[in-house]
Amino acid sequence: MPDTLSAASLPPPPTPSAPTPALLDLFVAFALISLSGFGGVLAWSRRMLVEERKWMTAEEFNDAYALCQFLPGPNVVNLSVVFGRRIRGLPGAAVALVGLIGPPFVIVTLIAFIYARWGEVAALQRMLLGIAAAAAGLMLGTCAKMALPLFKDRLGLAPLAALATFVSIGVLRLPLYGALAVLVPLSIAIAWVRR
Amino acid sequence: MKQDGGALLTLAGYFALMSLFAVGGANSAVPEMQRIAVEVEGWMTARQFTDIFAIAQVTPGPNVIIVALIGYQVAGLLGALVATIAMCGPPCILACYVGEVWERFREAPWRVAIQAGLLPISIGLIAASAFVVASAAAHNFAAVAITLVTAVVTYTTRLNPLWIFATAGLLGLAGVGT
């Protein structure tokens, strides 16, 4: 997680050198981000927005990303909207969003069509099963990386909140809303007391 | 698989609500998607859901695109469109308006506490997603081995996931996971 507090105490970050991008540039950038990102798009959006196009500084990106993680829903989708709006108002938000979602949507509906026709082919099923097993492993590994900072909490309350969420949703298969209605306030209360 | 207004409305309702509870991204909502698509509504079998999850992971772009596949399964192209808009719409509207408030309260203690409190929840949700998909894919020892090896490789290296998916797909094709 980006440390927004220490970022705020630093001197103001250098302004990005590139001029304000036009709507078409925004669309192209987010379409490229989308098409290069396999298994998640975060790393690619950072590379494009901060390193290649220089539309944001690293600090601005971290701050925007912290916001988008805090907001519910798909993180990178939120990022495209927040960034597009900051740069070009509501049209910018819409264009960035369509750039991000449009290309994979076209690809995935083509695949869905193929799957609807040939989904029962045994070879395809075996392949998808292997990929699903790997994708679960990818999530598990990423999750372990994300969880590391939680264990800095000596009392172990934050890992406990993560564990409670895992057990109630993953193992007990409780409905999401009921479980979160209990767990989210509890976890925020813990964070508030330990702050 | 009827393409009537009722199915579209049901899709829109489920995903619009779910989008507001997907703490930490679209993958956090995978167990809920599976619960609704397989157990509650019976839109597809557990195996079909696992297939769809795998397809969404190997498609470039944000993982949220899994909802387009679910929507397609329920009501064709229109279903895919409705599911995608429903899953992206509410968070996007929120993102537009919360963004400014966020800037203003950047250092407020309550903001810091909310952010810190949501992190373990989203980690727990993603772990739950991984567990749900892993157990659905775990037909035998080899599939479990693929999951565990991928987890270790992901944790210890920065290998492009595309290579992992290609290898796992080929292993599956060769019949290792069945």
pLDDT at res. A168 = 94
pLDDT at res. B1 = 47
Residue B95 predicted with pLDDT over 90: no
Whether residue B26 and residue A176 make contact (CB cut-off 8 A), yes or no, is: no
A107 and A172 together in one domain: no
Q: How far is A133 from chain B (nearest CA, A)?
A: 5
A113 and A166 together in one domain: no
| Average pLDDT of span B137-155 | 90
Tens-digit pLDDT profile for residues A110-135 = 999 999 888 888 888 889 999 999 99
Percent of chain B with pLDDT over 90: 49
| Residue B172 neighbours by CB under 8 Å, 6+ apart | A126, A127, A128, A129, A130, A131, A133, B146, B178
Residue A173 predicted with pLDDT over 60: yes
d(CA A1, CA A42): 13
Query: Does residue A124 fall inside a structural domain?
Result: no
A84 and A158 together in one domain: no
Tens-digit pLDDT profile for residues B11-66 = 999 999 999 988 878 888 999 999 999 999 999 999 999 999 999 988 888 889 99
**pLDDT confidence band for A1 (50 / 70 / 90):** very low
Q: How far does CA B34 lie from the centroid of its chain?
A: 9
CB B40 within 8 A of CB A173: no
d(CA B118, CA A173): 20
Residue A32 predicted with pLDDT over 80: yes
**pLDDT confidence band for A150 (50 / 70 / 90):** confident
pLDDT at res. A6 = 41
pLDDT at res. B4 = 66
Of A71, A103, A137, the CB nearest to B147: A137
Final residue in a domain of this structure, among A101, A118, A135: A118
Query: Does residue A148 fall inside a structural domain?
Result: no
Residues B30, B98, A106, CA angle at the centre, nearest 5°?
45
Name the residue type at position B85.
I
A9 and A87 together in one domain: yes
d(CA A151, CA A156): 7
- Which chain B residues are within 8 Å of A13, Cβ to Cβ? none
A73 and A11 together in one domain: yes
| Residue A118 neighbours by CB under 8 Å, 6+ apart | A124
- Which chain B residues are within 8 Å of A164, Cβ to Cβ? 124
Tens-digit pLDDT profile for residues A43-77 = 778 888 988 899 988 888 877 887 887 788 888 89
Interface test with chain A among B103, B114, B125, B178, by most A beta carbons within 10 Å = B125
A85 and A179 together in one domain: no
Could you list the beta-strand ranges (E) of chain A. Answer: none
d(CA B161, CA B159): 6
A37 and A102 together in one domain: yes
Query: Does residue A145 fall inside a structural domain?
Result: no
Whether the model clears a pTM of 0.95, i.e. scores above it, the answer is no
Residue of B nearest to A40 (CA): B62
d(CA B172, CA A124): 9
- Which chain A residues are within 8 Å of B91, Cβ to Cβ? 71-74, 77-78
Q: How far is A85 from chain B (nearest CA, A)?
A: 7
Query: Does residue A141 fall inside a structural domain?
Result: no
Residue B8 predicted with pLDDT over 90: yes
- Which chain B residues are within 8 Å of A12, Cβ to Cβ? none
Query: Does residue A31 fall inside a structural domain?
Result: yes
Whether residue B162 and residue A39 make contact (CB cut-off 8 A), yes or no, is: yes
| Average pLDDT of span A161-187 | 92
Residue B157 predicted with pLDDT over 50: yes
Query: Does residue A56 fall inside a structural domain?
Result: yes
Structure tokens at A153: 């909490």
Percent of chain B with pLDDT over 70: 97
Total count of domains within chain A: 2
| Residue A47 neighbours by CB under 8 Å, 6+ apart | none
Q: Is B76 left (phi over 0), alpha (psi -120 to 50) or beta?
A: left
- Which chain A residues are within 8 Å of B21, Cβ to Cβ? 72, 176-177, 180
Say which residue the tokens 């409305």 belong to. B9
A77 and A20 together in one domain: yes
Query: Does residue A132 fall inside a structural domain?
Result: no
CA neighbours closer than 13 Å in the CB half-sphere of residue B91: 35
Domain enclosing residue A29, as ranges: 4-118
pLDDT at res. B14 = 96
Query: Does residue A133 fall inside a structural domain?
Result: no
Final residue in a domain of this structure, among A118, A141, A168: A118
Final residue in a domain of this structure, among A118, A142, A176: A118
Question: Considering chain A, what is the average pLDDT of its residues?
Answer: 83
Say what the ipTM of the complex is.
0.85
A16 and A76 together in one domain: yes
A84 and A180 together in one domain: no
